[in-house]
Structures are given as C-alpha cells and as structure tokens.
Chains A and B, each alone.
Chain A
C-alpha cells in the first residue's frame, strides 16, 4: 500500500466477535491504522 492508493474496505473483528468494516472507523479527518506484530 502506497501513498495515494485507496485502502480496501477490509472486514475486521471486534473483541466480541462481531465484524466491522475499516470505513466505519474513518470518521475523523485522518485515521492512523496501527498494525501490531502480535498482542503480547
């Protein structure tokens, strides 16, 4: 993914197992998406 590309509206899971689209979090001017390597 490069600057200028449009990110796909991927499906993510919440802690309760329900699904949410990336676009649902794009509610402010910018969204910083932080991909963690692993939780621990």
Chain B
C-alpha cells in the first residue's frame, strides 16, 4: 500500500478508503493495520449507492473467473476472512478518481468480487497533474 500511495502522490493524487463497517469495527481494524491513508466508513452504504456500486449475486462466487481470482489472490498471501458484523458480503467495491471539485475523472466499479484495477491502470487513467507538495519536497524538485 505504501508503494501505491507514493506512486499516486507523485501524480498529485491522495487516497481515501471507504468501508461499510461500523465505526467500532473500523477502529478495531485500524489498530492492527497501517494503510497510511484516511479510513472512513459508511455502514448504511449510502455512499456505495450514490456511486452506483451494486451487490453481487451469490452465484457470482461460483463463476470460474471469480474462483480463479480468489485462488490467485490466496497464492499471493490473501487470506479469506469472515466480514465484520453488519457488513454485506455481496457488496461490491470500486475505485473512483475525483478532481478537487468532485468531478469524476476515473470510474472503475467492480464487476465481481475479485475485479479490482491494478494501481498501474489507475495511474494510467488519471489525467496528468503536478506531484503533491510533499512529494515535490522529497524528490529534490523543491525550489
């Protein structure tokens, strides 16, 4: 996550994570992880709905492409865990790039539970921009 965050920062892009957990579960999760970006929650999934993110159907999990996606992820170290209480296992995620005025410049809603764009694709889809101020200061480009 650190490498991805730095690559995004070099393009002037910060990161916000939205989850569907209750705040107490988010606090519990945040204690044992270090994403280095703001973690927020939306337990009623209003933001998920506003961004048009759908729920998968149960049969999606038996789609060979999805099964293969989970297997590949598990080979890379991903561990399947039960969701926290109140989280909807069928809720799909997605990635959206917003300009400062909240204009959408990138929209990648997930088509299935294993469908996430690699950071390289997200970077390629971002409009060109200046690096974030902190990034400029650390890469020797500060005047």
Interface of A with B (CB < 8 Å)? 1-17, 20, 22-23, 25-40
Chain A at the B interface: mostly helix, strand, loop or mixed?
Answer: loop
Q: Which of B102, B106, B126 contacts A6 (CB 8 A)?
A: B102
Q: How far is the CB of B10 from chain A (nearest CB, A)?
A: 11
Interface residues of B (CB under 8 A from A): 8, 11-21, 23, 25-27, 29-30, 38-43, 46-48, 50-53, 81-84, 87-89, 91-107, 109-110, 113, 122, 126-127, 129-130, 132
> Is A36 a contact of B17 with CB atoms below 8 Å?
yes
CA distance A14 to B15 in the complex (A): 15
Q: A-B contact count, CB below 8 Å? A: 175
Q: Please give me the residue from chain B that is nearest to A2 by CB atom.
A: B107
Contact of B93 among A2, A4, A29, A37 (CB under 8 A): A37
Partner of B84, one of A2, A13, A15, A40: A40
Contact B12 A28 (CB under 8 A): yes
Whether A16 pairs with B23 at a CB distance below 8 angstroms is yes
Contact A39 B84 (CB under 8 A): yes
Contact across chains for B103 and A35 when beta carbons are under 8 A apart: no
Instruction: Report the bound CA distance from A33 to B15 in whole Å.
Output: 6
Q: CB within 8 A of B16: which of A1, A3, A31?
A: A31
Tell me whether A34 and B17 are in contact (CB under 8 A). yes
Indicate if the CB atoms of B51 and A32 lie closer than 8 Å: no
| Cα–Cα distance between A14 and B119 once the two chains are bound (Å) | 25
Q: Which of A16, A20, A37 has the most chain B CB within a 10 Å cutoff?
A: A37
Q: Would you call A35 and B93 a contact (CB within 8 A)?
A: yes
B11 touching A30 by the CB < 8 A rule? yes
Report which of B12, B14, B89 forms a contact with A25, defined as CB distance below 8 A.
B14
